[in-house]
Homo-oligomer: A and B are copies of this chain.
Amino acid sequence: MIEISIATPAREVLVDITQKVQSAVTASAPALTGMISVFVPHTTAGVTINEGADPSVAEDIAETLARLVPADAGYRHAEGNSDAHVKTSLVGNQVAVPVEQGRLRLGTWQSIYLAEFDGPRTRRIWLIPIPSIAGTSNQA
């Protein structure tokens, strides 16, 4: 398992971690062909893949989640961050990204985001390099 850490700058913000993930794969699994599982070991932050070209998309995602799951909606949990827990379960805390010969394979517009819902904090991310079966670099 490979661990990276990310300092998030605000309470609710998506932080592009694509280059950090790529650097960790290059350093620790440079010959990997398969996928890298990106796992967030927190309960008020998740991970999502979405557009990286226009930063307003990430803002729209954070703001829409804030509208759907307001911070103050009469929750049971007494710590004042129930919205962050709910958003984490909506977005998810794990995704597996294709890798070929140590290079992340993402779509043209895709970036990997840590989805912070209760920052600012320093967050850890765990990466698991998973090999695919040999001989499957073909197209159907």
Q: Which of A's residues lie within 8 Å of B, judged by CB?
A: 1-4, 23-24, 27-29, 32, 34-35, 37, 39-43, 48-51, 54, 56-57, 59-61, 63-65, 67-69, 73, 75-79, 82, 85-86, 88-98, 100, 105-110, 115, 124, 126-133, 136-140
Q: Beyond the given A1-B100, A43-B110, could you list 16 further A-B residue pairs with CB under 8 A, ordered by the A residue number?
A: A35-B37, A35-B39, A39-B96, A40-B107, A41-B107, A43-B57, A43-B107, A43-B109, A57-B82, A60-B76, A67-B73, A93-B95, A128-B132, A129-B133, A130-B132, A131-B131
A24: chain B residues at CB < 8 Å are 140
Contact A133 B130 (CB under 8 A): yes
Contact A1 B49 (CB under 8 A): no
- Taking CB as reference atom, which chain B residue is nearest A95? B94
Nearest chain B CB to A37 CB, angstrom units? 5
Complex Cα–Cα for A128 and B95 (A): 13
